[in-house]
Amino acid sequence: MIGVLSLVDMLGMFNNRKDTDIDPATPVDEVPCVVLDTELTGLELKKNSIVSIGAIAMTGTRIDFASTLYMLVKPETALTSKSVVVHGIMPSDLLEVPDIATALQKLSAFVGNRVIVGHFISLDMGFINKYLKLFQNRVLRNPVLDTCRLHDWLRSEEKGFGRHFDNDLPNKDLFTLARRYGIEVSGAHNALSDAFITAQVYQRLVRYLQRHGVQTLRDLLSIGKS
Amino acid sequence: MVIMIHEDVIEFLSKVPPFQFLDEKTLASLAGSLSMDFYPKDTVILKQDGKVSEYLRIIKKGGVKVSIQTDEGEDIVVDYRGDGDNFGLWSIIEQNTQKTTVVAVDDTICYLIPKDIVQNLLDTNAVFTEYFLKSHLSKYIDKTYNDMLTRSSYYGGTDRILFTTQVGDIAIKEVISIREDASIQDAARLMSKHKVSSIIVLSDGDLPSGIVTDRDLREKVVSRGRDVQEPVSNVMSPPLIRVDARDYCFEAVLKMIKHNIHHILVVKDGALRGVLTNHDFMILQGGSPLTFAKDIENQQSIEGLVPVSQKITRIIRLLLKEGAKASNITRIISELNDRMVKKVLEIAERKYGQPPVPYCWIIFGSEGRKEQTFKTDQDNAIIHADPANEAEAAAIAAYFPDFTLFVKQGLMQLGFPACPAEYMANNPRWCQPLSVWENYFHKWVTMPNPEAVLKSLIFFDFRPLHGETSLAVDLRHYLVGLLREQNVFFARMAGVATLNRPPLGFFRTFAVEKDGEHKDALNLKIRGIGPLIDMVRLFALEGGVTETATLDRVNALRETNPFIIELGDEIEHAFEFINLLRIEHQLDQMDRGLPLDNFINPTTLTNLERKSLKESFQLILKIQDGITEFYSAGMVN
């Protein structure tokens, strides 16, 4: 069957090439990325769905306030009382918002070929790609960096030099980690403000990683790839 | 829609000059165009001779050191900047290579504004441009004042009448006047007819030549049984004290207090435009400095003066509330204190009889410069006429010790502490004939050892307060002549003026006291006002200026002194600003029952105040460096 490619496959190839466009030798402080966070109805990929998406663009360590995205999404599954407590989004908030297909289209356009950064990002990517696959039969193949992994690597490095860290953080949720890096956190979880906090964590991580010899996107991916 | 993460940015920028002066819409759109970066301690943010920055950076939190490397490889720290400060503007504007190296001295978060947005703000926003492209100290000071005035509750009053109302606005417009050759009776009739308390007397050319008030009719006509058919010019009060219609009311009040008058003429472009009376002010604002002056006037004993003197704090508060500049506050306070001291001297003269020879009561130090705020130590002395013979000398020796002791104790009762260094007329050394004073001055100037220089600093700010003014005028003229070409003396004075350097070279903008009672505080008197006073005195004495008040000296030197020509306005503003901070601080201490001092904690200041203070300090340093070079003060050490 070689030589017979479906349109979908061709699009997929095109996408794939575009997704990995960035030169791995790009210095860390010039890497274009999008910091991403989603709010979900729950943590189970099969049962739950996306309620909102927040994203903010960065270049290297510079957070770009001019380039942000925030969308509430009509969830494919029912809101749970538990999730309402976490992110404060009520069913009534979601009556006139885009469906997930439209939202993901916007997100893809926003992300473009940038590196995607997030905290425990594999969870968010799982949901995003589940729906992209479902509605568009494709997935985002952008390089993905997890701030949690970057933090772990840095911590082990610094431990090796016997500095700063006497003990591990009890947990590594975003707010705990953010406070650890001296970032102000307050208020309820919201996809955009969490993305902004994640961006600030990433910003600091990259600065400290630079001092540990992490120079290029390639280096970053080798230690923080999700 | 304002995106929520922009709100923090807007909130921050709305407290930081010059962004705080932008309107809401501009700020919101600015917030949406920024980016934010993080620089851990020791990060080199900009490098000298490196790539031009594409951004203006505003420090959200942290601090940076700006330095220049000389061709010899020496690093010179230009500045430290902290929260709310910015850097990188010049390389944006000049599109040249980066001129300085900027290093984070603490973990630092910056907001970055793209070059084209900055350029656009500079092109379209006057306040923004002023801030960056002109010396902002002078432009800003008014804004700083407004900031201070609206900040705390007791400045929130609505009546700033004295300082916001121009004389022309409240003066009685329809002036009742009469010809010089009219009779007293005609004048009185006209006054009754128009129900006014004063009438202006006009000369042939319709120019005002005097004023007749109710008081003149009472004191000069009725009580003396004068013929009411005499020409009115016989009882009018010349010379006329006048103010310009564009002057603010406090100027008028000041003149009225000074000359002890209740009516003042308002002129505009040389022509008579109206009359202003004490009564007009009373109506305008119940309880004024004028009433206070009158209170003093009415007292006949030290005991009677005590309660009046205690009210002076209230006046200061009132003036601050009305938005007075520091120099206006100190001028009015000095005027009132002058009157109080004069009154004490009059009481003393009544008690001990007229002195055997004419004398002049002189005051110096801050009193001499009319820069008093709250009660300061007594600094006074007596110049008396040289005795003609032995008998007169004996009479002098018998009279002044008791007389001056009475005055000293009286002033202490009124809350002016005795001078610890005994610079008081009660000290025989400072109660001397003109010839001895001339000898003192001659010795200090020609043999300027440290003690002589110290005395010069204090005494050379003298001015006459009471008695035979010509004695003080003669001494001043002697001093002006004496000081010509006294380069060694001036070099010594220059050394003093450059001795206490204001603190800048520390992280977060200010160096503060490192330990002791005033840890983390900054001495505004020694580090700020003192150097300014000293340098302006130096210029004034060298330029033959006879004024004693610092700002008057500055004004007198505007055409002649190279430092003042260049920086006169800025000196004036810096002086005003630091003094206002001091007055506010001391008033606050007084409210809280604390002893008064000059130590302020820089962290309690607003961004704008910090900025203005830092600018003031930079100005002082600049002039000090100029003085060091100009007077070769280095040789003297």
pLDDT tens digits, one per residue of B535-577: 999 999 999 999 999 999 999 999 999 999 989 988 998 998 8
The predicted pLDDT at position A203 comes to: 96
The distance of B36 to chain A (nearest Cα, Å) reads 5
Residues B501 and B602 in one domain: yes
| B31 in contact with A, Cβ within 8 Å | yes
What CATH number corresponds to the domain at position B232? 3.10.580.10
pLDDT the model gives residue B438? 96
Evaluate whether residue B156 is within a structural domain: no
Is B343 in the same domain as B279? Answer: no
- Smallest CA–CA distance, residue B32 to chain A, in Å, is 5
> Residue B256 and residue B275: Cα distance in Å, rounded?
12
Q: Which of residues 157-216 of A touch B (CB under 8 A)?
A: 182, 190, 192-193, 196, 200, 203-204, 207-208, 211
Within a domain: B70: yes
Percentage of residues in chain B having pLDDT higher than 70: 82
Which domain CATH number covers B477?
A: 3.30.460.10
Q: Which range (A153-167, B368-382, B481-495) has the least confidence?
A: A153-167
Q: End-to-end CA distance of chain A, in Å?
A: 34
Which comes out higher in pLDDT, residue B599 or A204? A204
> A65 CB near a chain B CB, below 8 Å?
yes
- A49 in reach of chain B (CB within 8 A): no
pTM value surpassing 0.80: no
Question: Closest Cα partner for A129 from A120, A9, A121?
Answer: A121
Domain residue limits, chain A:
26-224
Cβ of A66 within 8 Å of Cβ of B33? The answer is yes
Residue type present at position A36: L
What's the average model confidence in pLDDT over B237-255?
Answer: 75
B362 and B470 inside one domain: yes
C-alpha angle with apex B164: B158 to B170, nearest 5 degrees?
105
Strands A32-40 and A50-59: antiparallel
Residues B438 and B307 in one domain: yes
d(CA B344, CA A146): 82
Contact A65 B35 (CB under 8 A): yes
d(CA B415, CA B437): 28
CB contact under 8 A, A66 and B40: no
Among B3, B4, B38, whose Cβ lies nearest the Cβ of A61?
A: B38
Select from 3.30.420.10, 2.102.10.10, 3.60.15.10, 1.10.3210.10 the CATH code of A26-224: 3.30.420.10
DSSP character at residue A119? T
Q: How many contacts, defined by CB atoms under 8 Å, are there between A and B?
A: 50
Q: What is the pLDDT of residue B630?
A: 86
Mean pLDDT of B67-83: 74
Residues of chain A found within 8 Å of residue B33, distances taken between Cβ atoms: 65-66
Residue range(s) defining the domain that contains residue B387: 289-483
Residue B15 within a domain:
yes
Q: Which of A176-190, B132-146, B194-208 has the lowest mean pLDDT?
A: B132-146
**Average pLDDT rounded to a whole number, residues B506-523:** 55
* Contact at CB, A65 and B39, closer than 8 angstroms: no
Q: Do A207 and B43 touch (CB under 8 A)?
A: yes
Mean pLDDT over residues B78-94, rounded?
Answer: 77
Structure tokens at B12: 């921050």
| Number of structural domains found in chain B | 4
CATH number at residue B120: 2.60.120.10
Which member of B6, B36, B40 has the closest CB to residue A207? Answer: B40
| Shared domain check, B468 and B356 | yes
Tell me which chain B residues have a C-beta less than 8 angstroms from the C-beta of A182.
107
* B residues 36..75 contacting A (CB < 8 A): 36-40, 43
Please name the residue of chain B whose CA is at the shortest distance from the CA of residue A184: B8
So what's the pLDDT on residue B506?
Answer: 41
Partnered with residue B595 across adjacent β-strands are none
Does B6 reach chain A within 8 Å, measured CB to CB? yes
- Note whether B187 and B280 are same-domain residues: yes
Domain presence at residue B389: yes
Query: Does one domain contain both B340 and B436?
Result: yes
Contact A56 B5 (CB under 8 A): yes
> What pLDDT does residue A187 have?
67
Report the residue of chain A nearest B31, measured CA to CA. Answer: A65
Q: Are residues B469 and B568 in the same domain?
A: no
**Chain B closest CA to A194's CA: distance in Å?**
10
Last residue of a domain, one of B228, B252, B284: B284
Query: Is residue B113 domain-shared with residue B176, that is, in the same domain?
Result: no
C-alpha distance from residue A112 to each of A61, A191, B422 (Å): 18, 19, 82
Question: HSE (CB half, 13 Å, CA atoms) of A202?
Answer: 36
Q: Is B29 on the interface with A (CB under 8 A)?
A: no
Radius of gyration over every alpha carbon of chain A, rounded to an integer in angstroms: 18
pLDDT tens digit string along B157-206?
333 455 666 777 667 666 788 888 899 999 999 988 887 888 888 887 67
Residue in B348, B356, B410 with CA at minimum distance from that of residue B384: B356
Residue B139 has pLDDT above 60, yes or no: no
Nearest C-alpha of chain B: how many angstroms from A34?
A: 14
**What pLDDT is attached to residue B143?**
47
Of the candidates B293, B181, B280, the residue with the CA atom closest to the CA atom of residue B236: B181
Are B429 and B539 within one domain? no
Please check whether residues B339 and B416 belong to one and the same domain: yes
Judged by a CB distance cut-off of 8 A, whether residue B412 touches chain A is no
Least confident of B55-59, B95-99, B120-124: B95-99
Look at B35 and A62 and tell me if their CB atoms are within 8 Å: yes
Nearest by CB to B35, from A63, A70, A182: name it.
Answer: A63
B21 and B121 in a single domain? The answer is: yes
Q: Is B34 on the interface with A (CB under 8 A)?
A: yes
Token pair belonging to B125: 């926003």
ipTM > 0.90 (yes/no)? no
Using a CB-CB cut-off of 8 Å, the residues of chain B touching A68 are: 3, 5
Q: Kindly state whether residue B143 falls inside one of the protein's structural domains.
A: no
DSSP letter string over B191-244?
HHHHT-SEEEEE-TTS-EEEEEEHHHIIIIIITTT--TTSBGGGT--PSPPEEE
For chain A, say whether B107 makes contact (Cβ under 8 Å). Answer: yes
Contact B35 A68 (CB under 8 A): no
Instruction: From chain B, pick out residues whose CB is under 8 angstroms from the CB of A196.
Output: 5
